[in-house]
């Protein structure tokens, strides 16, 4: 997994609450099992004027020019700003894969669906919980310009513009995993030598368990 330390990118203001994972990535794309290739289907139902499926080439479909991620400069954004309860709904990890494959590295919201929140950390995408007042302030800044850039500094837990800094909190274990580029399996494997030593000890002390 790619480590996350500091990222500077364009903010796309996605001014909605309760964005569920079916909206982020519709169910027909769950048939794909690789983690790549989902970026073209992010917010698929709103992004295209034609219905889609895994076997329909994206090149044959018509993008909806009114949808924010189809418009420059937001089609190159890497930080998504939303409201409360982002990523609610079903547990599909594919929703995070789609955001990451599109190029989103950070999601800012006042709250998240629990499973989506966990999936973000396991895939190198940083979900940042901010106070509603801060979210409102960032939406106001984004409305004043179509090129709001933020620096997201996980090492110091700060969001920065040239004029202002906001603090945020990330649980220490998750923060360390992202800084190191490790998911839960990767973190476990850092203790592989100790695990092997424990298993060898058990094999000696309780050999009947291994017969």
Q: Is residue 185 part of a domain?
A: no
* pLDDT the model gives residue 23: 97
Tokens coding 187: 């973190």
Cβ atoms of 163 and 137 within 8 Å: the answer is: no
Q: Is residue 206 part of a domain?
A: no
Q: Is residue 78 part of a domain?
A: yes
Q: Is residue 195 part of a domain?
A: no
Cβ atoms of 104 and 80 within 8 Å: the answer is: yes
From the centroid of its chain, how far is CA 104?
Answer: 7
Q: What is the pLDDT of residues 17-31, one digit of tens each?
A: 999 999 999 999 998
Q: Is residue 91 part of a domain?
A: yes
Residue 17's CB: how many other CB atoms inside 10 A? 13
Strand, helix or coil for residue 95: helix
Strand, helix or coil for residue 81: strand
Residues 20 and 202: their CA atoms lie apart, in Å, by 46
Query: Model pTM?
Result: 0.88
The CATH number of whichever domain residue 142 belongs to comes to: 3.20.19.10
Q: Is residue 110 part of a domain?
A: yes
Tokens coding 204: 């000696």
Helices 114-121 and 172-180: crossing angle in degrees, nearest 10, is: 40
Confidence of residue 48 (pLDDT cuts 50, 70, 90): very high
Q: Which residues of 31-61 are buried (b: 16+ CB within 10 A; e: fewer)?
A: ebeeeeebebbbbbeebbeeebeeeeeeeeb
Q: By residue range, what is the domain housing residue 169?
A: 6-180
Phi, psi of 141, deg, nearest 5: -60, -40
Mean of pLDDT over the chain:
92
DSSP strand pairing (126-129 vs 158-160): unpaired
* pLDDT the model gives residue 47: 98
More confident residue, 162 or 197: 162
Q: Is residue 122 part of a domain?
A: yes
Q: What is the pLDDT of residues 87-123, one digit of tens each?
A: 999 889 999 999 999 999 999 999 999 999 999 999 9
Q: Is residue 190 part of a domain?
A: no
| Residue 191, Ramachandran bin (φ over 0: left; ψ between -120 and 50: alpha; else beta) | alpha
Number of domains, the chain: 1
């Amino acid at each position: 997994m790619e480590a996350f330390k500091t990222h500077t990118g364009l903010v796309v203001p996605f001014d909605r609450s309760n964005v569920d994972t079916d909206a982020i990535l519709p169910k027909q794309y769950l048939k794909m099992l690789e983690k790549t290739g989902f970026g073209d289907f992010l917010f698929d139902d709103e992004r295209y004027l034609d219905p889609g499926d895994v076997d329909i080439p994206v090149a044959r479909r018509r993008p909806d020019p009114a949808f924010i991620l189809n418009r420059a400069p937001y089609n190159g954004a890497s930080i998504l700003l939303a409201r409360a309860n982002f990523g609610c709904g079903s547990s599909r990890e594919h929703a995070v894969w789609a955001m990451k494959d599109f190029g989103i590295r950070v999601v800012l919201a006042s709250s998240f669906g629990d499973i989506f929140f966990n999936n973000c950390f396991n895939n190198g995408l940083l979900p940042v919980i901010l106070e509603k007042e801060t979210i409102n302030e960032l939406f106001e800044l984004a409305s004043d310009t179509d090129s709001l850039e933020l620096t997201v500094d996980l090492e110091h837990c700060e969001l920065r513009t040239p004029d202002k800094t906001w603090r945020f909190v990330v649980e220490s274990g998750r923060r360390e995993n992202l800084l190191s580029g490790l998911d839960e399996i990767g973190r476990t494997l850092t203790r592989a030598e100790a695990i092997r030593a424990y298993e060898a000890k058990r094999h000696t002390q309780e050999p009947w368990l291994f017969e």
